[in-house]
């Protein structure tokens, strides 16, 4: 539990962070809340030579209304501040609700939205939310900024499409308009553990039937997965169709087997939890 030696750089601004990344390349890691990176370093699974601390980059904190139907959340905004933010609560309650289930109070008071997403761990809760919301991430590098769709951002286990010299500056989510309901089923071994499987269901109701459904799956592949077959099977149908549709929730997934769950059991859980999440969201 003692990390290898590293150099420490405190970035005062995004530009300073980008400069440091450019200088150190893949020998550097960005330090946000540290709740994923530091345990890996203590176990010496990760041994970056340079840590670039974003903790003092104030411009990366906070939430604003972009005016185009979307909210922008600074990447260094802590989970607790996302949960409690009035704009998030009013316009994107699902993000506030799922964020409230991330880790435990200590994690939520240190961990950040950008750090959690950039870590690229499909067992964490926020990637599936961003996938279901069809949100985007703004990345900044030496050549300026670019906006990356959630579906393009997560590439593989702990791997994103960020370049070595880029950092996430913003997370953009649509304002939720209309009669949407949502529910996140997080299935864990102990309260503070990662999800064995998580299912976020969002349902837009119209005249008693489901106009649109979105299902994001946590920890069912190396990247967050949308249960698109389930979504399509429900569009335009009555909530009575949920049970049959949810039976296909594991289609197209590729879950791992580990000490907590076999792949087969994860697929089973995905089906059960998708049904439950949809039923709760459609209520």
Question: Quick check: helix, strand or coil at residue 218?
Answer: strand
Q: Which residues pair with 172 in a beta bridge?
A: 72, 136
Nearer to another protein, 2 or 177 (CB): 2
Nearest approach, Cβ of residue 234 and another protein (Å): 20
Burial category of 190 from C-beta neighbours within 10 Å (exposed 0-12, middle 13-18, buried 19 and up): exposed
Q: Tell me which DSSP letter residue 120 carries.
A: T
Handedness of CA 94, 99, 105, 108 (dihedral sign): negative
Nearer to another protein, 84 or 104 (CB): 104
Nearest approach, Cβ of residue 171 and another protein (Å): 26
Nearest approach, Cβ of residue 127 and another protein (Å): 19
Q: Which residues contact 34 (CB under 8 A, 6 or more apart)?
A: 110, 115
Nearer to another protein, 81 or 185 (CB): 185
Nearer to another protein, 177 or 259 (CB): 259
Nearest approach, Cβ of residue 168 and another protein (Å): 24
Nearer to another protein, 103 or 135 (CB): 103
Contact 200, 94 (CB under 8 A): yes
For binding to another protein (CB under 8 A), which residues are involved? 1-2, 4-5, 39, 42-43, 104, 187, 189-193, 196, 259-262, 265, 268-269, 272-273
Nearest approach, Cβ of residue 262 and another protein (Å): 7
Q: What's the token pair of residue 75?
A: 């990447």
């Amino acid at each position: 539990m003692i990390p290898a030696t590293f150099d420490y750089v405190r970035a005062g601004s995004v530009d300073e962070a980008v400069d440091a990344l450019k200088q150190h390349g893949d020998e550097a890691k960005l330090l946000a809340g540290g709740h994923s990176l530091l345990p890996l370093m203590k176990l010496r699974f990760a041994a970056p030579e340079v840590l670039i601390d974003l903790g003092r980059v104030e411009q990366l904190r906070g939430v604003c209304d972009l005016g185009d139907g979307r909210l922008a959340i600074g990447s260094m905004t802590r989970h607790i501040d996302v949960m409690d933010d009035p704009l998030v609560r009013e316009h994107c309650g699902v993000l506030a609700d799922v964020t409230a289930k991330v880790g435990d109070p200590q994690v939520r008071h240190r961990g950040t939205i950008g750090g959690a997403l950039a870590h690229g761990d499909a067992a964490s809760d926020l990637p599936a939310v961003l996938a279901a919301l069809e949100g985007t991430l703004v990345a900044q590098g030496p050549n300026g900024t670019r906006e990356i769709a959630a579906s393009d951002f997560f590439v593989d286990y702990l791997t994103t499409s960020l370049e070595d010299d880029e950092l996430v500056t913003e997370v953009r989510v649509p304002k939720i308009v209309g009669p949407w309901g949502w529910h996140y089923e997080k299935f864990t071994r102990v309260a503070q553990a990662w999800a064995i499987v998580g299912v976020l269901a969002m349902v837009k109701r119209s005249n008693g039937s489901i106009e649109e459904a979105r299902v994001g799956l946590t920890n069912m592949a190396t990247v967050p997965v949308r249960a698109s077959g389930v979504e399509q099977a429900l569009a335009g149908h009555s909530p009575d169709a949920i049970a049959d549709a949810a039976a296909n929730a594991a289609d197209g997934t590729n879950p791992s087997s580990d000490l907590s769950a076999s792949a087969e059991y994860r697929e089973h859980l995905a089906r059960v939890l998708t049904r439950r999440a949809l039923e709760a969201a459609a209520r």
